Structure formats: C-alpha cells, structure tokens
Amino acid sequence: MSIKQIVKRKKLKIVGDNSRVIALPHIPQELERIGNLTLRVINLGEKEARKLLTKTLENFADRHRDIKLQLIRNYDKVAEYIPNVFNLSKTQKLLIGAYLTMEYSIESAALFNPSIVPHPDQSLLPEGSIRFIMSLRATGEGHISTIVFRSGIIDKNFTFNFDSVSEHVETPELVHDPFYDNVLFRLKLKDLKAWNETSMNIVNKLPGFFTHEELKQSIQEVYMNPGIKADNWTINVANWLADSNYRIRFDDRTALSERVIYPVSSNESKGLEDARFVKFTHDSGEETYYATYTAFNGHSILSQLIETKDFQTFNIITLNGDGVRGKGMALFPRKVNGKYVMLSRQDGVNNYIMFSDNLHFWYTAKLIQKPEHPWEFVQIGNCGSPLETEKGWLVLTHGVGNMRQYSIGAILLDLNDPSKIIARLNEPLLSANEEEREGYVPNVIYSCGGMIYNDTLILPYAMSDIASRIAIVNVESLLKKMKFVT
C-alpha cells in the first residue's frame, strides 16, 4: 500500500465558534479618563443607572456564566482610584464595571494546531475505548492566541465521540505560586544575568520557600534601606521572573471545553502559541501532563512550560538556558538514561535534541536532522512530543517546501540513544488535499502532537491555520514504509 492508503482521514472537522466569548478588562491607562467615566455614571442618577444596567444584563447575561461577577471584578481593578466620598451604590459599581469590560471572541479567526493526550480519568469506559483531551490554539481579534480544550472518547472502531462543547468559556483565577523555591529562583536569576548585590540582598532575606508577597516585601526593604544601592534593572528582572511563573485555577463548575488559558504575563501579551502537551511518566511512576508553548509579546518569543495533573489547575513556568531561545520545543514522555530529553529547533531550519538534569534548564543542543527532501528544503521541525514504540521513538515532523507548503513527515529515533535517527519516511505522511489547502495560511498541514492507541497513531492536525481534523494510521504499516538507516 502507498502512504496515502495507510492514512485515513476522519470526516469530522473541528471549527471555531465565534459566539464563544470571554469578558476581558477594557480599562483606560489614564486615571483622568477613569475619573471622568465615574462622574458620568454618577451624574446619570440611580434610577437611570439601574435602567441602563438592567438592559446591559439582558443583552449579555446569557453569554456568560456570571456576568455580574465579571463586571464587579473589573470595577475592583480601578476602585482604589475612585474617592470614597462618592459612596457608590452596587448598581453604579456594576455599571462602571460594564464600561470597563469588553467581549473577546476567542475562536473567531481560527481553531488549529492541536495536540492530543489520554485523559487522566479513564474510568467507566466501554471495552476497547479511551478517553482523550485535545488542546487547540484558538485565535480571535488581533490574532491573539489562547489555549482551549476539547474532550471525548475513541471507541474500539476508532469512532471519535466528542463531548458537547459548552456555549460558555471562562478565564481562570490567577494564583501566584504559594511558594517559590529559593534555590531555583536563584538559578533562574543567574541564568538571566541578574545575580548581583541587589538580587543577593533580596533573595538572602527570603526563606527556602517563599511567597509572592514575601518577595515583594523583601524588594521593598531593599529599596528603603539607605545602605543598599538598589539596581532597578535587577529588581525589574526579579519581578518579571515572579510574574512569569504563576498558577491558574478554573472554577469547579467549569467543564473542560469552557476553560481557556488567556495571556496573563507581559511576555505572552500577544499570545500563547502551539502548546505541545505530553503525558509524562516520572521514574516513580507518577504522571504529570506538561506542555511547552511559545509566549509572544509582539516583538520577541519565549519558551514556557505548562504543568498540570487534572487540567483544572495549571502551573506556568519559565524555561531557562541558551537551548530554549527558539520555538517548537517538544518534551519526551519520560527520562532517557536518567535525563530529561527535548526536541528543539535552534536555528529555524533544522531539528535538534537536548538533554538536561533539570526540567527548567536547557543549555546545549545537538543537531540530528537537516532538510533532505524537496518537501522540506526550506525548514523542518517537530510536530509534537515523540511517541514510544517497541522499535524506537516515533517523531512526527513538519517540513516546508516550495510555495510554503507544509507537510507532516516522520522519523524514528533509537530508544536508548534518541540523538540517533534509525529510520525515516522519504515522502510526506500527510499533505494538504484540495479541501484542506484553503484558509488563513494556505497549504499548511501542522500538528502539535499525536498519541498511539491500540497500535494506531491518532494524528490531529490543522488545515491552513483555520480549522482542524483527525487522521489515523496503523503504526506497523507506517514503520514498514520508513527507510531504516544503516
């Protein structure tokens, strides 16, 4: 059989829904504008304000689970700038909050670049079935990228039964880590070239594990101490590092499809791109879900790590070292020879591999693959975390050819020495067909990660950066099509 014959595309398409909106703060930077807005609401009078608020709630309440909570949260963001003498009523506070709120349609532009992992809950399933979680990159106004989720069950016949998608979506509560590891914080400051007298004075005052509030207090003490000459750049770096490592938690009421991870820190203000989720098994047998993603602030990129066990609480962690300066990191699902292993693309052209003793720090990379075939002459990269098979690590790759055509290929890495390619496909596994080549970015087929179930590769992929679908491939048939390197 040819490659085309072993790849079976599912008819199902995963498309965005522009009616799924979140309520975001829309707050002027100028205090004068906030003050003037408050005065205008006050001058309406209580009766007129109540009438206007009632109409607002009628128009927007069914689009959000708790619109009043969203409005009062946004009011609270400016409450400290409003004099107490105004003695605002709850109606006025809610109405001011409404003027400081905007809707954002998270999927209105595209829903693409998916990855798939087994669900942490595999209970009460029919025989031969598996429950899955799929992450997707959603984009809306301004092409700001967020991370959203879908879930469902694959039955023994490889029929995909997706769970219903809620009409609501919600952003999580931001919770700074209860404790920062002092040793790890020092290491990250050193890696950022911010370890000096100022940072030493800040960190040395802190216990082995410290809170965000304790860090802020220590910084303030350094500022106030006349005997210490505080370096503002170092303090900004320390604040940035703390703010870039945070925890988010979704409300217990939210279904998985209602959860959207929206940019929080300044380094990801323009989007969280291409999350590559993987189910990681520690040496102890404990399992954690990790995802590498690219944080984009409109000017520069930064590789970040997501950590979760339940897809309800997520830790967002900075990755450090010279090895994580590029895009497209993909973590192996377990340690190899006692080390963490990551695929990367250091130069935007070739495939590299990295090894590390610490999940947070990556310094050196080894080149393992250069473009070889015409369909990948421009560049190659990975399409998600490697998949373990008896014969080796199966790595899905993407290649860019002429006319910026993206295709998905595959290589096989040695199980014990994954820096060594032992087999590869000499032709694309998947390329855009006529139906898939039209979209926001034409002629692009791309994935952020598949999984293997019952000797079958489950491959979700994006079509021209606008929508997604799924293909399945028998692993044995795929390996037979690969040319083994001698």
DSSP string, 185-242: HHHHHHHTT--SHHHHHHHHTS-SEE-HHHHHHHHHHHHH-TTS---HHHHHHHHHHH
Euclidean distance between CA atoms 245 and 249, whole angstroms: 14
Same domain, 346 and 421: yes
**pLDDT value of position 170:** 93
Domain count, the chain: 3
The secondary structure element, H or E, covering residue 4 is helix 3-6
Backbone angles phi, psi at 374, to 5 degrees: -55, -35
Domain boundary among 105, 122, 139: 105
Euclidean distance between CA atoms 256 and 302, whole angstroms: 26
**pLDDT value of position 178:** 75
Same domain, 315 and 235: no
Both tokens of residue 53? Answer: 């608020």
On the CB side of 181, CA atoms within 13 Å amount to 7
Domain boundary among 52, 78, 105: 105
Euclidean distance between CA atoms 232 and 17, whole angstroms: 45
Predicted model pTM: 0.94
Q: From residue 383, how far is each of 96, 188, 302, 343 by CA, in Å?
A: 46, 28, 18, 10
**pLDDT value of position 72:** 96
Sequence letter at residue 474: N
Sequence letter at residue 38: T
Same domain, 324 and 375: yes
Give Cβ neighbours of residue 37 (< 8 Å, ≥ 6 apart).
28, 96, 99, 100
**pLDDT value of position 43:** 95
Same domain, 208 and 70: no
Residue 231 belongs to what domain range?
178-244
Euclidean distance between CA atoms 143 and 110, whole angstroms: 9
Average pLDDT per block of 10 residues along the chain, 486 residues long: 92 95 94 93 96 97 94 94 90 97 96 98 96 97 95 97 95 85 95 94 95 94 88 92 92 95 87 97 98 89 94 95 91 98 95 97 97 97 98 98 98 98 97 95 97 98 97 97 89
Same domain, 75 and 123: no
Domain boundary among 105, 120, 152: 105
Give Cβ neighbours of residue 240 (< 8 Å, ≥ 6 apart).
266, 267
Same domain, 235 and 292: no
**pLDDT value of position 4:** 87
Same domain, 55 and 167: no
Same domain, 290 and 164: yes
Q: From residue 387, how far is each of 24, 57, 338, 341 by CA, in Å?
A: 38, 49, 18, 13
Same domain, 426 and 313: yes
Among 371, 425, 376, smallest CA distance to 402 is for 376
Q: What crossing angle do the helices spanning 197-204 and 182-191 adopt, rounded to 10°? A: 170
- 280-309 exposure pattern, b = at least 16 Cβ within 10 A, e = fewer: beeeeeeeebbbbbbbbeeeebbbbbbbbe
Euclidean distance between CA atoms 88 and 90, whole angstroms: 7
Same domain, 405 and 301: yes
**pLDDT value of position 408:** 98
Write the CATH number for 275.
2.115.10.20
Contact 325, 179 (CB under 8 A): no
**pLDDT value of position 479:** 97
Same domain, 46 and 146: no
- In DSSP notation, 144-181 reads -EEEEEEEEEE-TT--EEEPPPPS--BPPEEE--S-EE
**pLDDT value of position 300:** 80
Which residues are bridge partners to 341 per DSSP? Answer: 355
